Structure 1
């Protein structure tokens, strides 16, 4: 059983997935950020692999990617950092990599999956990997290396397609709260109907809600009709001018979980 599936077996509600950008705010910040998240209440860590043309990301995460790339972050560098964490036995929660196909294909898709699994990565989110290509070409490679793969669904995704993407996903299903980029404010009254609809489909995977989760109120609202939520932009903002990553992370997560 994968680490992500194990997590949802022992914690079915209020699962907190926190997104961070690899190599932000500084090139060597990645491990410090992961350790701080683990120590202060994150159940899952989603690491963004910075890319110059991120389709789903809002301005805050785009800016963090630009800084990370300028810092010299690459997939190779990220894997070196994760290997240090893995080899030292310091990885305490599941790690998911989020990114886009272009840099992964440049790295070599099978090599990417093999190297990711070797350094303790548990799952992948690649929003621009189409369903057909996943089924026919890339899915078997991902499965070969024991990685979970998470598809995204939106309020506009049909019931038939939601169920298909749920069947193809493993680990969890990522429910985008609305069809927009990350970081946009959401009215969760309008999101509630969508999440209730997903609940009624009796999906095989747990559901985590992302986009617009930024504080205790939005986290609580998201968790009412799902297994948990994903916070990204608000955490990146908390790190923006951070002098001490652990202290900033602790202070931020307290506002969500207490």
Structure 2
């Protein structure tokens, strides 16, 4: 069974998934970050593929991606770093990146490399659902990879149900229609959106991302979903500490206070 499905079939709640950008703050730190996250109880990790025009990301992740590219990170380098990572890391791993570098690599070659490295799925924020259905779904399924689709407060109920019907793993529920970045709390409008999606009784579990950085936002996200995804806050802490162990411990402490 795919590790993503296995995780969500375990009936655990309040899952914590962490995003970081490969190649930031150092080129060679990918495996160290993954091991530190698993050792500190993180349930799943999204490994960001740096791109020069990350349209869905706020300034923290944009800066991390720029630094990673300057450090020499590329898909070729990343796959080399991930080649033996499954000897030590057991939790689900997802590659998150924009379509352009993946297409330059070749989608089927990308899927093949994912399987070789033990990657369980991918998130491609700028992949239209129609294109996913027509061009990419069957290839990904051939390799038992999960393509995770995003929904936002602007996504129609009809499209939400369509995504739920034709994807597997989980649904990435974006907390707002804006870019990534830490927030102090979620307003009533966002909470109403979370509740509306919960009441749709979807087949797939949901993880909430964008804007989660502290106890209040983490608790609100988990109230209406299986768990939360934290990116910008961890990337900022990693930038400050230069040590993944210290960064994740500070983050987890912040979720408790």
Structure 2 residues not aligned, in runs of 5+: none
Counterpart in the other structure of 1:45: 45
How has the CA–CA distance of structure 1 residues 226 and 188 changed in structure 2, closer, same or farther, with 3 Å as cutoff?
Answer: farther
Counterpart in the other structure of 2:148: 150
Counterpart in the other structure of 1:62: 62
Counterpart in the other structure of 1:246: 245
Query: CA separation in 2, counterparts of 1:202 and 1:12?
Result: 17
Query: CA separation in 2, counterparts of 1:123 and 1:257?
Result: 29
Query: CA separation in 2, counterparts of 1:29 and 1:112?
Result: 21
Relative to the length of structure 2, the TM-score reads 0.96
On the 8 A contact 1:36/1:250 being kept in 2, the answer is no
On the 8 A contact 1:172/1:206 being kept in 2, the answer is yes
On the 8 A contact 1:56/1:180 being kept in 2, the answer is yes
Counterpart in the other structure of 2:24: 24
Measured after TM superposition, the shift of residue 117 of structure 1 is 1.3
On the 8 A contact 2:111/2:140 being kept in 1, the answer is yes
Q: After the TM superposition, which residues 1-258 of structure 1 pair with which residues of structure 2 at under 5 Å, given as runs?
A: 1-86=1-86, 89-185=87-183, 187-256=186-255
Runs of 4+ in 1 over 3 A off after TM superposition: none
Measured after TM superposition, the shift of residue 184 of structure 1 is 5.0
SS in 2 for 1:28: coil
Query: CA separation in 1, counterparts of 2:62 and 2:175?
Result: 19
SS in 2 for 1:202: coil
* Larger mean Cα displacement after TM superposition, 65-74 or 1-10: 1-10
On the 8 A contact 1:58/1:184 being kept in 2, the answer is no
SS in 2 for 1:34: helix
Query: CA separation in 2, counterparts of 1:238 and 1:142?
Result: 33
Per-residue Cα deviation, 1:4-39 (whole angstroms, up to 9, x for no partner)? 111011143101110000011000111111111101
How has the CA–CA distance of structure 1 residues 96 and 243 changed in structure 2, closer, same or farther, with 3 Å as cutoff?
Answer: closer
Measured after TM superposition, the shift of residue 214 of structure 1 is 0.4
Relative to the length of structure 1, the TM-score reads 0.96
Query: CA separation in 1, counterparts of 2:105 and 2:93?
Result: 20
* Larger mean Cα displacement after TM superposition, 129-138 or 97-106: 129-138
Query: CA separation in 2, counterparts of 1:123 and 1:231?
Result: 18
Let me know the Cα RMSD of the aligned residues: 1.3
